[in-house]
Structure 1
Amino acid sequence: MSYQVLARKWRPRTFHELVGQEHVQRALVNALDQGRLHHAYLFTGTRGVGKTTLARILAKCLNCTAAGAGDEGVTSQPCGQCSNCQAIDQGRFVDLLEVDAASRTKVEDTRELLDNVQYAPTQGRYKVYLIDEVHMLSTSSFNALLKTLEEPPPHVKFLLATTDPQKLPPTVLSRCLQFTLKHMPPERIVGHLSMVLEAESVPFEESALWLLGKAAEGSMRDAMSLTDQAIAFGQGEIHHADVAAMLGTLDHRHVLALIEALAEADAARLLSEVASLAEQGPDFAAVLDDVTAILHRLAIAQMVPDALDNGHGDRDDLLALAARFTAEDIQLYYQIGVQGRGDMGHAPDLRTALEMTLLRMLAFRPQGVPKPARTPLPMRGESGNGASEGSESGGSQSGSPSAAPAGEQVSAAPAADEPSAPTPTPSAETVSAPTPEAVPGPARETVPEPAPGPPAEPTSDEPPQQTSTPPWEEAPVDLDGAVAPASAPEGNVEPEAFAPDEAAGTAPASEADSEPPATAPAEKTEPVPAETTEEASPMPAASPGVTDGILTHEAWLAHFETLKLSGLTRNLAAHCMVEEDDGESLHLRLDPSQAAMQAEVHVERIREALAGAGFERRLVITDGELSDALETPRQQADRLAAERHVEAVEALRADPHVKKLEQAFGAQLIEASVKPVVESARR
């Protein structure tokens, strides 16, 4: 007996053997069981999904004689053993007329076909007209078919099949009961091929079946034909390498290797994988298409893991890879890949375009967001970011190097003149810190050494005000205590800011009264501790807001700017409130609108900054509703900025020159354009 191809040998004989068209199967089975049969059915779908097979199964259901009691009814489960069923399976049933509309398009052919409609069936219960590729009929043929299609004799059923239903006239569509057959997903194809090959005793590799399922593009018949070809190519066996060579497609594992190199941020490995691909002479444009397709699937794996398809049999691998990327990276890589695909026509060659696109993904990857990759990005010096940022915060706590020359000019005498200070440590810091708030001018600048002697006299006039305000505490409204002339000896303040000895206690105060109050602490003021006889602590335990070494929310606001955080880490911390501090763990509550920014790298940097400030704790940040009674550092900064703006507007409106311009020229002050002068920018 001659060999029968798998597509014909394994063609379904009943509805229950049908694969992947459950929605059509359910409708037809119920209609047959209930006797609610239409006179015209239209099956649409791509090639090889079972349109003709469905029509033949339906013809058997209508004409099977063994299942029903003679001619009394039809069945949804044809026996396959009676003469009618066997004749239909063998293609010799006289009452099943299969017409190829692609070869019989003329109106004369249609009229000849319809001339026999009036005659009763010869062998079966119904005369079934199966018209394949019905969209190929001419307009005249459709017109000739309309009347009969609308009101056929009771013994006639029309089964129409087409791959292009858009070409059918609406008059034909309205006369038929239409069923659209679905594409076969690769998972369904692989499962069916596994069953067939096991029954055929053909050894196979599952990865090879995934290549066949993908190449079939939703057609089960194409998958079976490709399987026949793969069996012949592999001498009775199906192997991954043989199928890849037969199909001429790129091995999917190479594309996954490129994605893994992106996850590692390893440019050297990336170029090595491209070099390995080049040995196979692939289409580099198709490689980039595959990369962007996987990036799309990774985005789905991150957002909705259950929606990730298993089109290449790599679902588990992609779920593992998705955990190694941030959502921002995937979106950026996809956009760069799509843009690079459009730019390939302008590149010197396709390999160069692919390499530059992949390297561009690494070069433009955001550096401030968490980096799940195990190796640092070679072209960006980010490996030391955490250390440098920690050293910066630590340096600002223990003493600013730039302020050392100024601190050397301050003797230990002022600290000794302050017996009313609660502890010697705050008084030692107070010698240097209030200067940014007390004296308008660039408090952080280092100037030539002034004479340290004369300004020390008025220090004893107002010592309580100096010691009551810690160097890092925000006190925008407490200007009186911050303007004490004890700030005069500071070496980091220009000597011109002070009057002679007689006016040392009045000149700075009058000038400070005319200036807008200080705002966010570390944007304008940075603690510059001076060298004293006692070593200053970054955050004294006796300072306001700190009780028994416990950090309160007030101390968090006051000390926030001295943490020297920057970038996304600073933004994350600025939206936090202190929820609880038990001495071992510090709990911060994060604004829910900023929850997407939270990442382990930012939490670690905040913890290191707090440790440098004297708060060595385990840091826990959780997002949740914030208290209306408290404000975050960001809210405080916004409020103070608004207050500065209001004061600046009021100062301008009270200015005589502005009033004169308004009176003389009818000028109007545009409040939105008013920008308060930053304290550190004044001289």
Structure 2
Amino acid sequence: MSYQVLARKWRPRTFHELVGQEHVSRALVNALDQGRLHHAYLFTGTRGVGKTTLARILAKCLNCRQGVTSVPCGECETCREIDEGRFVDLIEVDAASRTKVEDTRELLDNVQYAPTQGRYKVYLIDEVHMLSTHSFNALLKTLEEPPPHVKFLLATTDPQKLPVTVLSRCLQFTLKNMPPERVVGHLTHILEAESVAFDEQALWLLGKAAEGSMRDALSLTDQAIAFGQGEVRHVDVAAMLGTLDHRHLLALAEALAEIDAARVLQEVASLAEQGPDFGAILDDLAGVFHRLTIAQMVPDALDNGHGDRDTLLPLAARFTAEDVQLYYQIALQGRGDMESAPDPRTALEMTLLRMLAFRPQGVPKPPQTPLPIRGSAENEAPAAAPSSAPAPNPPASTVAPSSGEPSRPETQAPAASDSSLAADDSGEETPHELPETAAPEVETPTVAEETPPLVADVPDDAADAALEDEAQRQADAAGVADVDDAPPWALDDAPAPVASEAPAAVPEPPAMDAAADVDEPDPEPDPEPEPEPEPEPETPAPVVATHESGAFDHARWLAVFESLALGGLTRNLAAHCIVEHDDGETLALRLDPSQGAMLADVHIERLTKALADQGVERRLNVTVEALPENLDTPRSQSERQARERHAQAVEALRRDPHIQMLEHDFGAHLLERSVTPTDGAASDA
């Protein structure tokens, strides 16, 4: 006996054997069981999904010797003849080869005659969209009102080409494409029945290559059995189809997860040795990113399409959700750019390197820069040194300002002993020039060198004492007993206010007093220098630091959260955490299960670094578990505080007499949802 291909040998004989078209078989079975039969049916769908098979099963159900039934016996003479394709009352017409109107008229001339053997005369017209316009017009009247013993079964892969007049006369059923999962399941059943050894990964390759057609999948399986000498193995099927080994794609994804650009290029070089389609590689890589996203969001929904489910689940944990989304988008964009690239391999390499170059890095903590100090850039370092006494004058040759540097008004200069005159090494005194007569060749010290340090660099007590002593000295020189009674011009040489005070605290003297200060030296002796205080650290202390005897508890976690400078998904995850316990080395956090799918190692690393920057150096252990109702997360605390501020703002507006007047006189109504509280709104109200 000659060999029969799998597609013909395993063609479904009943509706119950049909695979993947339950929506069609259910409607036909119910119509047969209830006797509600239409005279014309139209089956549409892509190649190999079961259009002709459905028509033959329906013809068998209509003409079975057991009667009209949804379950034909398959043993009577009529059922066997239909299965073998030799039933005289089943007229199969290939419309692609009989497109002329004469062929259609010849076909319709026999419609009026009764069936020879069966109960119904069934006309099966395949690829009906190939008929000409005149053929459709000739068919319309008979298709609308055929004799009671005639049934029309039409099949087409392109229903858009059918006239609307034909579509309106038929019951249309659209058959679905076969998903790879359904194809693999059916192939597994067939190969087990045929006693053919196979690999599941090989079946997935066949299911994807079939592109929705079960007939194509069976034909490829026949080819794979012959190629593999009676077996269906993954290596053989990949070689037969010319597809890329899926393990290379996973290696490429692992290189991206490790952010290893050198390994990425090595994997591309290894792929190039096989002469693949680089565009197909990018398409398959985008498919990997799609499955990684599913593994992150809904792990249970991840299929075992390439037998790699156990590999993808841990690989998905090594990516952040934003990384996978960005890589997927770059892969799609790179696929479109391949046409204009110098060569496909260059386009692939640039697309992969672009993924690493533009991957999200999170929101870095801004550097803590010191406050700017008034004065020239050359003298910022001396001015920033913490000291309670004025710095001595340097030699004139080392403090000469640049020719383009403007001078400050004399009212802002500090009244140190050398504030008006600068002495050189010879002991001669050189008066300051006025701003409008300053020349580049005149070597004079700048005001910035004598500016007292900022409040942050000088202890408060020492700074206040120095200011009070100097003010009292100026008041004594002006003949005033109390410094509070001194006139403004008597305190011209008093120290200028520090940076944190408003400049308006020192009134500006008349212009002639400033000139007098320049012309005449200060007769008063220098004050005694204050002892130099211990320098303070330049950077401020952390907002929250754990004590040696105390643990980092949940209250501190809520207090320190806003100062962690987190951003993006890391901040969102941390905002849904509570502190369980702290043993001094490991800080245990509990995460809300609603955010558990987004948890990744990169977020734990960022949070660990942010806590260390605030003085909390711990190893983090984050578990996903339901949170207790009596504890606030940073997110819930922020929402609760926002609600409280909103309620206070609404209450303040309701107490406002103007709003009460509008409500009483004009019937106004306060829209509470439109109230936006501002900082201090509740207290100001």
In the alignment, which residue of structure 2 is the partner of 1:31?
31
In the alignment, which residue of structure 2 is the partner of 1:366?
360
In the alignment, which residue of structure 2 is the partner of 1:142?
136
Residues 317-359 of structure 1: CA deviation (Å, up to 9, x unaligned): 4344333221211222122222222322333322122112111
Is 2:279 the counterpart of 1:288? no
Contact 2:458 2:533 in 1 (8 A): no
Is 2:6 the counterpart of 1:6? yes
Instruction: Measure the CA separation in 2 of the matches of 1:350 and 1:123.
Output: 63
The structure whose Rg is larger is 2
Contact 1:186 1:312 in 2 (8 A): no
Q: CA deviation at 1:624?
A: 3.0
In the alignment, which residue of structure 2 is the partner of 1:611?
615
Q: Secondary structure in 2 aligned to 1:179? A: strand
TM-score (norm 2): 0.64
Contact 2:126 2:154 in 1 (8 A): yes
In the alignment, which residue of structure 1 is the partner of 2:74?
80
CA separation of 1:24 and 1:514: change in aligned 2, threshold 3 A: farther
Residues 607-641 of structure 1: CA deviation (Å, up to 9, x unaligned): 212326xx979799945333578589xx9xxxxxx
Instruction: Measure the CA separation in 2 of the matches of 1:342 and 1:232.
Output: 38
Instruction: Measure the CA separation in 2 of the matches of 1:223 and 1:508.
Output: 81
Q: CA deviation at 1:176?
A: 0.6
Q: CA deviation at 1:115?
A: 1.0
Instruction: Measure the CA separation in 2 of the matches of 1:142 and 1:538.
Output: 88
In the alignment, which residue of structure 2 is the partner of 1:46?
46
TM-score (norm 1): 0.64
CA separation of 1:578 and 1:631: change in aligned 2, threshold 3 A: farther
Q: 2:180 aligns with which of 179, 186, 199?
A: 186
Aligned residues: 519
- One-letter code aligned to 1:104: R
The equivalences for 1:204-243 within 5 A come to 204-243=198-237
In the alignment, which residue of structure 2 is the partner of 1:638?
none
Instruction: Measure the CA separation in 2 of the matches of 1:50 and 1:35.
Output: 23
The equivalences for 1:106-255 within 5 A come to 106-255=100-249
In the alignment, which residue of structure 2 is the partner of 1:643?
none
Q: CA deviation at 1:365?
A: 1.2
In the alignment, which residue of structure 2 is the partner of 1:64?
64
Instruction: Measure the CA separation in 1 of the matches of 2:459 and 2:82.
Output: 118
In the alignment, which residue of structure 2 is the partner of 1:374?
none
The equivalences for 1:378-527 within 5 A come to 409=387, 459=461, 503-504=494-495, 511=502
CA separation of 1:161 and 1:531: change in aligned 2, threshold 3 A: same
Q: Secondary structure in 2 aligned to 1:125? A: coil
- One-letter code aligned to 2:604: E
Contact 1:569 1:602 in 2 (8 A): no
Q: CA deviation at 1:92?
A: 1.1
CA separation of 1:459 and 1:367: change in aligned 2, threshold 3 A: closer
Instruction: Measure the CA separation in 2 of the matches of 1:230 and 1:570.
Output: 47
Q: Secondary structure in 2 aligned to 1:611? A: coil
Residues 222-270 of structure 1: CA deviation (Å, up to 9, x unaligned): 1111111111112212222221121122222222221222122122221
Residues 500-544 of structure 1: CA deviation (Å, up to 9, x unaligned): 7984598989735679xxxxxxxxxxxxx9736999994799x9x
Instruction: Measure the CA separation in 1 of the matches of 2:220 and 2:580.
Output: 67
Contact 1:407 1:531 in 2 (8 A): no
Instruction: Measure the CA separation in 2 of the matches of 1:40 and 1:17.
Output: 23
Q: Secondary structure in 2 aligned to 1:41? A: strand
Q: 1:626 aligns with which of 637, 641, 653?
A: 637
Residues 140-175 of structure 1: CA deviation (Å, up to 9, x unaligned): 111111111111111111111111111111111111
Instruction: Measure the CA separation in 2 of the matches of 1:579 and 1:513.
Output: 49
In the alignment, which residue of structure 2 is the partner of 1:278?
272
Instruction: Measure the CA separation in 1 of the matches of 2:114 and 2:387.
Output: 120
Moved more, 185-194 or 260-269: 260-269
Contact 2:82 2:90 in 1 (8 A): yes
Residues 49-78 of structure 1: CA deviation (Å, up to 9, x unaligned): 11111111111111111x34xxxxx11110
Q: 1:91 aligns with which of 66, 79, 85?
A: 85
Is 2:613 the counterpart of 1:602? no
Instruction: Measure the CA separation in 1 of the matches of 2:127 and 2:83.
Output: 20
Instruction: Measure the CA separation in 2 of the matches of 1:32 and 1:348.
Output: 62
Q: Secondary structure in 2 aligned to 1:52? A: helix
- Structure 2 segments unaligned to the other structure (5+ residues): 372-379, 390-411, 415-446, 472-489, 507-531, 623-631, 646-685
Q: Secondary structure in 1 aligned to 2:286? A: helix
Instruction: Measure the CA separation in 1 of the matches of 2:580 and 2:504.
Output: 38
In the alignment, which residue of structure 1 is the partner of 2:512?
none
In the alignment, which residue of structure 2 is the partner of 1:104?
98
CA separation of 1:462 and 1:145: change in aligned 2, threshold 3 A: same
Contact 2:470 2:494 in 1 (8 A): no
Instruction: Measure the CA separation in 2 of the matches of 1:505 and 1:588.
Output: 54
Q: CA deviation at 1:200?
A: 1.2
- One-letter code aligned to 2:218: M
Q: Percent identity?
A: 66
CA separation of 1:589 and 1:89: change in aligned 2, threshold 3 A: closer
Q: CA deviation at 1:185?
A: 0.8
In the alignment, which residue of structure 2 is the partner of 1:328?
322
Contact 1:135 1:165 in 2 (8 A): yes
Q: CA deviation at 1:293?
A: 2.8
Residues 290-321 of structure 1: CA deviation (Å, up to 9, x unaligned): 21232233334434455555544444543443
Contact 1:459 1:485 in 2 (8 A): no
